[in-house]
C-alpha cells in the first residue's frame, strides 16, 4: 500500500481505493476485536470527536462506551453479517451528552465502527414523513422514462442538493444522464455521455457492494488511520467514511462540485445505474437521513424491475403470438426448409430490423435490406465461428470484420439466431448504419501531466459538451431483442428437431420398405421362374402347332409380367379389379361383352401372381371356346364376401357362347384351378 496521502496517479483503474488508509473528517472510525471489543485501530480524530481522550490502541470499548451501547453494537453486527452490509445504529450515547449515529460491520474478523454526529430529530422525522408519499408516487409510475424524472424531482426536493441525476450504464460501462433535476442557474448535463474510465471497474464494484457513497467536502483533508503493529491494511470497501481517490476529488472540483452523494441502483445483483447528487458547496447528510435515502433507492430499484419485467412479459407475449401464427401449420409441413423460406417475411416484425434472411439447407433467402450476395458466405462462416448454437450479435460489425466495410450503410450490425440443433441453419437480422452525434461531458480521452516524478493522470479540466459523430454502427440490440431472439431460437430448434426426426423416421421406414420389397421381389422372381420353367416344361399338345404353343406360352408369361408390374407399382400387391381390367381389355369389343361387379379387393403379391395366371387361362379359354368367341357372347365376373365362412367368392359366368363340350383332358388352366387355388390361395374351385 502507498504511504498515507500517496497514491498511484498513473492509472485510476489500478488505484487501490478500497484500502486508502484514511477517512473523511465528518466522522471518526474505530476498529476492535469481535470477542472483547479491544481497539485495534482508530482514526486520528476519534478520541477528540468521541470525547474520550483515553481512546487508543488496546483500549477497552466496553469501558468507554458502556454495556448498553455494546449490546446494541453486538445486535447490529449479527444483522450485518446476515445482510452482508453495514447496519445503522441511530442516536447512540457514546459519551455524556454526546450522541452519534453509527454504521457497524465486520471485515476479516475485525469490527468496524464508524461514528458521525447524530442528526437533529426533526430532520430525520421530516425524511421519514416524506418517504411514504415518495414511494407512493414511484409505485404509481409505470413508464420508465417518466419514473426517472419523478425520482430526480423527489430526491432533489428531499435532499436539497443543487443537482440530482439518474445515470444509467451501457453495456460497455460508459454512462448517460437519462434524467436531471437542477437549480436553474446550472447548465444541464441531461443526455450527456461519460466514458467508462470516469468510473473504473474497481469503483463500480464498490458502488455495487456499498449502496451509498457520500463526499461531504471535495476539498477535505484526509484523516489518517492509526493502526496497531502487524495489521494488514484495513479493507474499507463497505465503509461510510472511506477516503476518496484524489483523482475523483479533482474530477469533481473541475466540475465545480463541492459535495456529492452517489446512490447505487442494483438490479438482479448487478450495478445498473446511479442516482448522482451534486452540491456546489460542502454538504454532509447525516447517517439517519442516508438510511431513509437508502430505503427509497431500494424501492426505486424494485419499481425499475417491475417495469422491466412487465415490458419483458409484454414483449414475450407478442413474440409468442407471432411465432405461433407463423408456425401454426408447421406440424403438417413435408418440406420445412421451403416452408420457413416462405414465412421469412412474416418473422421480420419479431425484432426491429431493416432486413432479415434465413440460411437453411445451404440456401440463402432474404427479405428487406439483406446482406449483398458477395458477402453472404462470409455471414454464414461468421455464424459458424461466432454463434455456433448460441445467439450472437454486433452493432459494430466492421470493427472486427473488415469485409463488410463497403456495405455498412445498409448492414452495420447483425443478430444471428441458430434455428437447428446442429450449427448449420441460421436466421440473420440486419440493421443499417445510423450516424449518431454523442454529447460527451468533456473530452473522453485520458490526459496526463508530466512532472518531476513522471506522468500523472489528470481528470478533465472542462466538462463543456464534446460532440462526437459515430459512424458504421447500428442501433444497439437490446436485452428485449435478445430475449425475443431466444424465443424464436427455441421454437425453431424444436420445430426443426421434430422435422429432422420425422425425416429420419420416414427414411428408415422407406429403407425398411425397400428392403422388404427387394426380399419379396427376390422371392417372387424365384417363384415366377419356377412357374415359367413349369410352363415351358409342359409337353406340346398333339393337336397344336409349335406356333400355337409359342403364342399360348407368350400369353401366359405376359399375364405373369402384368401381375409382377402391378406388384412393383403398388408396394407389394394389387386390386383384383385392376388385374381383371388389364387382362380382359383385348376382349371388350362391345361395351356389354364384359361385366365386372364387386368391391375393391386387395390381393397380396403371391395371390396376385396366381390369380393372374388363373384368370389369363380362363380369359383365353373364353376367347377361344367360350362366350368371348361369339359377338353375342357375354362374360360376367362378380366377387363378394361370404360372411358365414369369411371367404371371398369369385363367380365366372359365360353366356351366349357356343355349346360346351367336355374337354378330352386336363389342360394348364384346369391344373391351376385344381392345384394352385387350394395350395397358393387356400381356396376351392367349382365348375358347372
For the chain, what is the mean pLDDT? 83
634, β-bridge pairs = 655
Which among 216, 250, 242 has a CA at the least distance from the CA of 21? 242
User: What are the residue ranges of helices labelled H in 390-446?
Assistant: none
The CA-CA-CA angle for residues 114, 118, 124, to 5°, reads: 120
Task: Render pLDDT for 353-393 as a digit per residue (tens, 0 to 9).
Answer: 899 999 998 899 999 988 889 899 999 999 998 888 889 99
CB atoms closer than 10 angstroms to residue 425 = 23
User: What cell was used for 634?
Assistant: 357375354
Say whether pLDDT at 157 is over 60.
yes
CB atoms closer than 10 angstroms to residue 545 = 10
Out of 6-10, 59-63, 443-447, 551-555, pick the least confident. 6-10
Residue 451's pLDDT is 44
Q: Are 392 and 426 in contact (CB under 8 A)?
A: no
Q: How far, in Å, CA of 683 to CA of 679, rounded?
A: 8
Q: Are 395 and 415 in contact (CB under 8 A)?
A: no
Cell 407399382 maps to which residue?
A: 569
Dihedral sign for Cα 96, 100, 106, 111, please: negative
Q: How far, in Å, CA of 364 to CA of 19, rounded?
A: 58
Mean local confidence (pLDDT), 153-169 = 94
Three-class SS of residue 28?
strand
Through-space distance between the first and last CA atoms of the chain, rounded to whole angstroms: 122
Dihedral sign for Cα 237, 238, 243, 245, please: positive
Q: At what angle do helices 144-159 and 121-139 cross, to 10 degrees?
A: 170
Higher pLDDT, 542 or 531: 542
Say whether pLDDT at 532 is over 60.
no
Q: Which residues contact 292 (CB under 8 A, 6 or more apart)?
A: 124, 127, 128, 131
Residue 10's pLDDT is 43
Longest dimension (CA), the chain: 148
pLDDT band at residue 505 using 50, 70 and 90 as cut-offs: confident
**Residue 351 φ/ψ, nearest 5 degrees:** -135, 135
Report the half-sphere exposure of 497 (CA within 13 A, side-chain side).
9
Q: Are 415 and 481 in contact (CB under 8 A)?
A: yes
- 433 CA to centre of own chain: 25
Mean local confidence (pLDDT), 668-686 = 75
Q: What percent of the chain has pLDDT over 90?
A: 38
Delineate the domains of the chain, giving CATH numbers in brackets.
Answer: 12-309 (3.30.450.40), 347-435+471-537 (3.30.450.270), 543-681 (3.30.565)
Say whether pLDDT at 323 is over 90.
no
**Radius of gyration from C-alpha coordinates of the chain:** 47
Say whether pLDDT at 160 is over 70.
yes
Region class of 343: left (phi > 0), else alpha (psi between -120 and 50), else beta: alpha
Mean local confidence (pLDDT), 187-193 = 88
Three-class SS of residue 429?
strand
Q: How far, in Å, CA of 477 to CA of 653, rounded?
A: 82
Q: Are 393 and 477 in contact (CB under 8 A)?
A: yes
Which among 427, 436, 426, 417 has a CA at the least distance from the CA of 474? 436
DSSP 8-state assignment for residue 16: -
Residue 263's pLDDT is 95
Instruction: Tell me whether strands 355-360 and 426-431 are parallel, antiparallel or unpaired.
Output: antiparallel
Which among 88, 75, 96 has a CA at the least distance from the CA of 115? 88
Task: Render pLDDT for 589-636 as a digit per residue (tens, 0 to 9).
Answer: 566 688 899 999 888 877 777 787 788 778 878 877 888 888 788 889
User: What are the residue ranges of helices labelled H in 199-335?
Assistant: 201-209, 246-255, 287-327
Out of 148-162, 291-305, 649-663, pick the least confident. 649-663
Amino acid at each position: 500500500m502507498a504511504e498515507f496521502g500517496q497514491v498511484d496517479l498513473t492509472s485510476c483503474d489500478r488505484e487501490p481505493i478500497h484500502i486508502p488508509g484514511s477517512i473523511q473528517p465528518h466522522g471518526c472510525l474505530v476498529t476492535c476485536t469481535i470477542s472483547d471489543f479491544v481497539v485495534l485501530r482508530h482514526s486520528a480524530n476519534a478520541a477528540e470527536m468521541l470525547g474520550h481522550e483515553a481512546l487508543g490502541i488496546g483500549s477497552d470499548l466496553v469501558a468507554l462506551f458502556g454495556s448498553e451501547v455494546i449490546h446494541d453494537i453486538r445486535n447490529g453486527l449479527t444483522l450485518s453479517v446476515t445482510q452482508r452490509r453495514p447496519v445503522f445504529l441511530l442516536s447512540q450515547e457514546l459519551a455524556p451528552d454526546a450522541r452519534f449515529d453509527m454504521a457497524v460491520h465486520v471485515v476479516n474478523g475485525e469490527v468496524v465502527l464508524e461514528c458521525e454526529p447524530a442528526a437533529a430529530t426533526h430532520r430525520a422525522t421530516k425524511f421519514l414523513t416524506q418517504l411514504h408519499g415518495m414511494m407512493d408516487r414511484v409505485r404509481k409510475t409505470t413508464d420508465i422514462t417518466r419514473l426517472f424524472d419523478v425520482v430526480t424531482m423527489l430526491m432533489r426536493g428531499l435532499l436539497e442538493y443543487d443537482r440530482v441525476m439518474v445515470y444509467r450504464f451501457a453495456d460497455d460501462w460508459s454512462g448517460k444522464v437519462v434524467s436531471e433535476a437542477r437549480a436553474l442557474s446550472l447548465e444541464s448535463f441531461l443526455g450527456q455521455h461519460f466514458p467508462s474510465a470516469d468510473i473504473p471497474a474497481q469503483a463500480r464494484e464498490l458502488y455495487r457492494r456499498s449502496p451509498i457513497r457520500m463526499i461531504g467536502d471535495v476539498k477535505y483533508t484526509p484523516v489518517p488511520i492509526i493502526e496497531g503493529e502487524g495489521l494488514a491494511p484495513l479493507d474499507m470497501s463497505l465503509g461510510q467514511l472511506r477516503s476518496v481517490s484524489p483523482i475523483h476529488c479533482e474530477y469533481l472540483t473541475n466540475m465545480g462540485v463541492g459535495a456529492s452523494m452517489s446512490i447505487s441502483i442494483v438490479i438482479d445483483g448487478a450495478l445498473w445505474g446511479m442516482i448522482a447528487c451534486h452540491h456546489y458547496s460542502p454538504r454532509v447528510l447525516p447517517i439517519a437521513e442516508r438510511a431513509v435515502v437508502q430505503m427509497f433507492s431500494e424501492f426505486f430499484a424494485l419499481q425499475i424491475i417491475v417495469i422491466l419485467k412487465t415490458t419483458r412479459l409484454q414483449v414475450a407475449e407478442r413474440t409468442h403470438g407471432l411465432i405461433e401464427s407463423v408456425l401454426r401449420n408447421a406440424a403438417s409441413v413435408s418440406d420445412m426448409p421451403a416452408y420457413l423460406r416462405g414465412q421469412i417475411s412474416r418473422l421480420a416484425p419479431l425484432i426491429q430490423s431493416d432486413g432479415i434472411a434465413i440460411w437453411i439447407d445451404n440456401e440463402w433467402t432474404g427479405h428487406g435490406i439483406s446482406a449483398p450476395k458477395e458477402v453472404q458466405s462470409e455471414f454464414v462462416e461468421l455464424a459458424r465461428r461466432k454463434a455456433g448454437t448460441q445467439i450472437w450479435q454486433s452493432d459494430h460489425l466492421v470493427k472486427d470484420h473488415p469485409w463488410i466495410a463497403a456495405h455498412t450503410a445498409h448492414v452495420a450490425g447483425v443478430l444471428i439466431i441458430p434455428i437447428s440443433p446442429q450449427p448449420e441453419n441460421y436466421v440473420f437480422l440486419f440493421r443499417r448504419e445510423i450516424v449518431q452525434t454523442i454529447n460527451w461531458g468533456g473530452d473522453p480521452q485520458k490526459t496526463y501531466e508530466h512532472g518531476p516524478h513522471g506522468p500523472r493522470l489528470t481528470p478533465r479540466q472542462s466538462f463543456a459538451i464534446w460532440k462526437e459523430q459515430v459512424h458504421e454502427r447500428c442501433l444497439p440490440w437490446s436485452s428485449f431483442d435478445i430475449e425475443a431472439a431466444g424465443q424464436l431460437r427455441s421454437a425453431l430448434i424444436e420445430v426443426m428437431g421434430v422435422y429432422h426426426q420425422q425425416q429420419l423416421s420416414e427414411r428408415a421406414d422407406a429403407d425398411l420398405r425397400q428392403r422388404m420389397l427387394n426380399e419379396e421381389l427376390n422371392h417372387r422372381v424365384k417363384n415366377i421362374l419356377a412357374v415359367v420353367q413349369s410352363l415351358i416344361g409342359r409337353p406340346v399338345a398333339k393337336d397344336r402347332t409349335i406356333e400355337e404353343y409359342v403364342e399360348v406360352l407368350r400369353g401366359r408369361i405376359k399375364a405373369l409380367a402384368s401381375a409382377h408390374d402391378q406388384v412393383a407399382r403398388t408396394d407389394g400387391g394389387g386390386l383384383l379389379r385392376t388385374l381383371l381390367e388389364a387382362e380382359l381389355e383385348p376382349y371388350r369389343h362391345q361395351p356389354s361383352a364384359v361385366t365386372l361387379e364387386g368391391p375393391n379387393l386387395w390381393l397380396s403379391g403371391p395371390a396376385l401372381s396366381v390369380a393372374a395366371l388363373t384368370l389369363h387361362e380362363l380369359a383365353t379359354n373364353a376367347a377361344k371356346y367360350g362366350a368371348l368367341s361369339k359377338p353375342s357372347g357375354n362374360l360376367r365376373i362378380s366377387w363378394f364376401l361370404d360372411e358365414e365362412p369369411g371367404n371371398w367368392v369369385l363367380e365366372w359366368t359365360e353366356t351366349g357362347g357356343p355349346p360346351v363340350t367336355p374337354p378330352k383332358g386336363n389342360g394348364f388352366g384346369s391344373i391351376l384351378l385344381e392345384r394352385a387355388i387350394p395350395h397358393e390361395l387356400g381356396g376351392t374351385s367349382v365348375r358347372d
